[in-house]
Amino acid sequence: MIGALLLGLFCGVVARLLVPGDVFRKMSGPVSWLVSIGLGLLGALVGYLIFTVGLGIGDTDIFDWGGVLSALIGTIIVVIIASWILRRTARRSEQQAQAPQQHTT
């Protein structure tokens, strides 16, 4: 369990450093750490599903360097998709908030 959390933290932090301009950049403190762990754990699952289950690459050992690499790639994918979704929903919220204001003037 602790190994999974450490892997999630490591992959989450590295992925957030490698993806330029992700929407999580402005976070700090405990929230930032929790987001990094969550993204890393989800990314590890995505990496496992893509590489081990989908492509048959790797094994199901508890820890190996190939697993870390697939988890990191999966986390980068998750950070990119999450950033895209959050930006898109933020734009829609802004457009909906501005629409009533335009009709009243």
For residues 2-22, average pLDDT: 82
For residues 83-101, average pLDDT: 78
Contact assessment for residue 31 and residue 7, using Cβ atoms and an 8 Å cutoff: no
Contact assessment for residue 82 and residue 55, using Cβ atoms and an 8 Å cutoff: no
Q: Among 23-27, 33-37, 59-63, 67-71, which stretch is predicted with the lowest mean pLDDT?
A: 59-63
Report whether pLDDT(34) > 60: yes
Burial class for 40, CB neighbours closer than 10 Å (0-12, 13-18, 19+) = buried
Q: Whose CA is closest to 39, among 73, 1, 89, 90?
A: 73
pTM of the complete model? 0.75
Give the pLDDT band (50/70/90) at residue 61.
low
